[in-house]
Amino acid sequence: MITVDNFRLASCQATLFTPDEEISTPKLVGGLLPRWLPTFDADPVLLPPAEGLPREVPRIILNSTSGSWRCEIAPARLNLFWRGTKSVSPAVTPTLTEFFRDATTLLNEYADFLKTRVGRLAAVLSRYASHPSPGLFLAGHFCQERWMTTPFNRPENFELHAHKRFSMGEFHVNSWVRNKTGHASIESDVQPIVLVEQDINTLQEEADTRSFDGGDVVRFFSGVSSEFDVILRLYYPSAS
């Protein structure tokens, strides 16, 4: 049995979509990025200017020397990531509230610095739980018993994806949940896992007309912090 309490955080992502932006690398390097050195203390990666480069391709990539934090700056979007590494112990893994609080500060600093319109917001995270037979567990967890004799009696891999639309307070959002098998390096050993990826984002069709301000950004990412846990608990209830 796997419950919500067995999952560990693998990665978090917070994204602003900036459909009108044309970023200036010198402006960002000279003005904003020095403020972010406490978080992104590794040498930045700067992509040379090129004609016809898709707007989603990052022009600037920032990393922390620990390898945990990463930032990708493209004209169309800003992505912030936290990722668990072998050097990161569970004791220093951020809570969802801590990650989205810190990410919100950086996202709003970026939008304020460029005075850019924010058309969409998105949050993504991955969590995992060890299991010796994750494919068989997922099949039994989500399928009726009659399917466990055949064809799901011995699956090596298994995936279940679900998509919903709902209102998260004032925000109309998509919610994706992907349950699947995988492997992870845990305590110097590669182990089979159940991997759950969750994605909550505002609607693509609203991106051309919406303009999210700093307060909207704070409320959205504050909301997803708890909503992710509520959703995971629906899929993997506590034993009690």
Q: Are 134 and 181 in contact (CB under 8 A)?
A: yes
Strand-pair partners of 191: 184
Q: Which of the two residues, 231 and 145, has the higher pLDDT score? A: 231
Q: Residue 41 falls within a domain, yes or no?
A: yes
**Neighbour-count burial of 65, counting CB atoms closer than 10 A to its CB (0-12 exposed, 13-18 middle, 19+ buried):** exposed
Predicted local distance difference test score (pLDDT) of residue 87: 56
User: What does the pLDDT average to over 177-192?
Assistant: 87
Which residues neighbour 80 within 8 Å (Cβ) at sequence distance 6 or greater? Answer: 13, 14, 15, 69, 70, 71, 103, 106, 107
Q: Residue 228 falls within a domain, yes or no?
A: yes
**Neighbour-count burial of 83, counting CB atoms closer than 10 A to its CB (0-12 exposed, 13-18 middle, 19+ buried):** middle
Q: Residue 60 falls within a domain, yes or no?
A: yes
Q: Are strands 159-168 and 120-130 parallel, antiparallel or unpaired?
A: unpaired
CA-closest candidate to residue 75, choices 44, 53, 51 = 53
CA-closest candidate to residue 131, choices 196, 213, 69 = 196
Q: How many domains does the chain have?
A: 1
Predicted local distance difference test score (pLDDT) of residue 151: 73
Q: Residue 31 falls within a domain, yes or no?
A: yes
User: What does the pLDDT average to over 138-167?
Assistant: 83
CA-closest candidate to residue 211, choices 102, 75, 111 = 111
Q: Residue 57 falls within a domain, yes or no?
A: yes
Q: Residue 240 falls within a domain, yes or no?
A: no
How far is residue 139's CA from residue 141's CA, in Å, rounded to a whole number?
A: 6
Domain that holds residue 227: 4-235
- In this prediction the pTM is 0.92
User: What does the pLDDT average to over 121-136?
Assistant: 95
| Whole-number average pLDDT of the chain | 92
Angle at 100 between CA 212 and CA 40, to 5 degrees: 100
Which residues neighbour 43 within 8 Å (Cβ) at sequence distance 6 or greater? Answer: none
pLDDT tens string 66-116: 999 999 999 999 999 999 876 555 557 899 999 999 999 999 999 999 999
